[in-house]
Amino acid sequence: MNDNKIPFLDLVAPHLELEEEIVGVMREALRNGQFTGGPLVEAFEKDFADFCKAGRCVAVSSGTDALRFALMAAGLRPGETVLTVPNTFIATAEAITQAGALVDFVDVDGKTCNMCPDKLREYMERKCRGYGKGRHISRKTGSAVSAVIPVHLYGQMADMDCINAVAADYKLKVVEDACQAHGARFFSKKDNCWRTAGSMGVAAAFSFYPGKNLGACGEGGAVTTNDEEAATRVKMLRDHGQVKKYYHDIEGYNGRLDAIQAGILGLKLKRLDEWNSLRRVKAYYYNELLSDIKGVRTPYEPLWSRAVYHIYAIRVRDRENMQSHLSKAHIGTGLHYPLPLHLQKAYSRLGYGKGSFPAAEASAESILSLPMYPGLTDAQQRRVADAISDFASGCASVHKAQKELRGAN
């Protein structure tokens, strides 16, 4: 690696650190010949359920499958509407369609960039007319709204107390998209305690894509739930609807997690609290370094949140030029996500346009994700902040010169 380069993500260092143990897991699978299911998967499921403080965990082959199976297991009927946010990875919405439902969107809160509970309530009040208890028909999609997927974006939980309160009023099932939020916590006023992502809805979906806070050396995902029946249903869905070998109660999918991946995830899970704490330390250091730079807004973390900073995204003016300035300084950055889903061609059928979801659009236009991983050094963070500051002061002098020129004319 170029020593001068600060990558956006470092997938090499954490694996080199665990190389011997990872090879040990692979050897174990080679020797017992169990590559799907078996003790490595079962042990990981138990440990991850405990980590999330959820009753059950069912490991599956990706976060997208986890979302789809969680929705199907929650008792969603084909043709019903499921709400989510427009500023998420497309997989959230894809899973809704793949589960046979219709997607619709609710805007986010301008500060946290997570689903806004007031806008969810407004949607239900404005767009739905009640057809008796528990059946709210969306004027947009013409179907019953039956579930909502808050996305814990960037590793920060959505306001689950308020979302759950709206959901209870309108009989919506809540499925958490916790694909970016392994170990994130939320202080529930209702329960008067800290709750963990993956334990606050009827089910939750996690992704173990390599770049996640808990990432496999390949693909992987999991559903967590406190509902025994839902867990059994997800187990069937991931394995062709089987209750026992070659006896299929329903049609399902090939959505299992490999044993080797489960073994590796189990190893890494033991380090996750430590890695998440390091991410929080790095986030606070960025906050401090960037606090005085004009035109830069650091992430907002409410008092009730313990975010795990899967992504550290700032809001900036003149994002494209700042990104290319950082790239010239050999600093990797990302955009999560540059075009909200309601403006993507894939969802043009919903008939939304620019201005439909102003908060999601404003964040898409200004967010910039900075390098963030447990091994990021203080010196690297200072270099990132210096490059941002250089760019911002360059912008400031250009603005000043333009103003002076305008004054002179």
Ligand X SMILES: Cc1ncc(COP(=O)(O)O)c(C=O)c1O
Amino acid symbol at 274: E
Q: Which stretch binds ligand X (CB under 6 A): 22-30, 56-64, 165-173, 187-195?
A: 56-64
- Cβ distance to ligand X smaller for residue 85 or 289: 85
In whole angstroms, what is the distance from residue 226 CA to residue 396 CA?
53
For position 60 contacting ligand X by CB under 6 A, the verdict is no
Using CB under 6 A as the binding rule, whether residue 149 contacts ligand X is answered as no
For the residues of 25-89, what is the DSSP string, one character each?
HHHHHHHH---BSSHHHHHHHHHHHHHHT-SEEEEES-HHHHHHHHHHHTTPPTT-EEEE-SSS-
Q: Is 209 in the site for ligand X (CB under 6 A)?
A: yes
Choose, by CB under 6 A, the member of 81, 84, 87, 92 that binds ligand X. 92
- Smallest separation (angstroms) from ligand X to the CB of 94: 9
Give yes or no for residue 89 binding ligand X (CB under 6 A).
yes
Q: What are the C-alpha distances in Å from 325 to residues 280, 329, 331, 371? A: 26, 6, 9, 15
Both structure tokens of 120:
């969810």
Give the count of alpha carbons within 13 A of 274, CB side only: 7
Does residue number 93 form part of the binding site for ligand X (CB under 6 A)? no
Q: Which of 81, 87, 88, 226 binds ligand X (CB under 6 A)?
A: 88
Q: Which stretch binds ligand X (CB under 6 A): 132-140, 174-182, 344-352, 371-379?
A: 174-182
Can the peptide bond before residue 347 be classed as cis, meaning omega within 30 degrees of 0?
no
CB-CB contact of 159 with 195 (8 Å): no
Angle at 283 between CA 322 and CA 376, to 5 degrees: 80
Minimum CB separation from ligand X for residue 245, in Å?
A: 27
Q: How far is the CB of 32 from ligand X (least distance, A)?
A: 26
Q: Does 373 bind ligand X (CB under 6 A)?
A: no
Contact 83, 106 (CB under 8 A): yes
Cβ closest to ligand X, residue 128 vs residue 255: 255
Pick the piece of the chain touching ligand X (CB under 6 A) from 85-93, 228-236, 245-253, 383-391: 85-93
Q: Which residue is nearest to ligand X (CB)?
A: 63
Judged by CB under 6 A, the stretch of 86-94, 104-112, 272-280, 282-290 that binds ligand X is 86-94
Candidates 145, 151, 290, 322; binder of ligand X (CB under 6 A) is 151
Q: Which of 155, 183, 215, 221 binds ligand X (CB under 6 A)?
A: 221
Interaction of residue 64 with ligand X, rule CB under 6 A: yes
64 vs 381, beta carbon nearer ligand X: 64
Q: How far apart are CA 43 and CA 48, in angstroms?
A: 9
Please tell me whether residue 224 binds ligand X under the rule CB under 6 A.
Answer: no
The span from the CA of 219 to the CA of 260, in Å, is: 11
The DSSP secondary structure of 264-319, one letter per residue, reads HHHHHHHHHHHHHHHHHHHHHHHHHHHTT-TTEEPPP--TTEE---SSEEEEESSH
Who contacts 403 (Cβ-Cβ below 8 Å, separation ≥6)?
Answer: none
User: For ligand X, which is the closer residue by CB, 155 or 388?
Assistant: 155
Least distance from C-beta 184 to ligand X, angstroms?
Answer: 12
Residue type, 30: L
In angstroms, what CA-CA distances link 246 with 239, 242, 250, 255?
10, 6, 11, 16
Using CB under 6 A, which of 60, 62, 282, 325 touches ligand X?
Answer: 62
- Residue 234 has φ and ψ, to the nearest 5°, of -65, -40
Interface with ligand X, residue 114, by CB under 6 A: no
Q: Which of 371, 368, 196, 184 is nearest to 277 (CA)?
A: 184
Helix (H) / strand (E) containing 223: strand 221-225
Nearer to ligand X, 96 or 392 (CB): 96
Among 22, 41, 91, 307, binds ligand X (CB under 6 A): 91
Candidate residues 63, 252, 255, 263; the one interacting with ligand X per rule CB under 6 A = 63
222 touches ligand X by CB under 6 A: no
Question: How many residues belong to the site for ligand X (CB under 6 A)?
Answer: 14
- Residue 68's CB is within 10 A of a number of other CB atoms, namely 27
Which of 112, 180, 276, 369 binds ligand X (CB under 6 A)? It is 180
Q: Contact residues for ligand X (CB under 6 A)?
A: 62-64, 88-89, 91-92, 151, 177, 179-180, 207, 209, 221
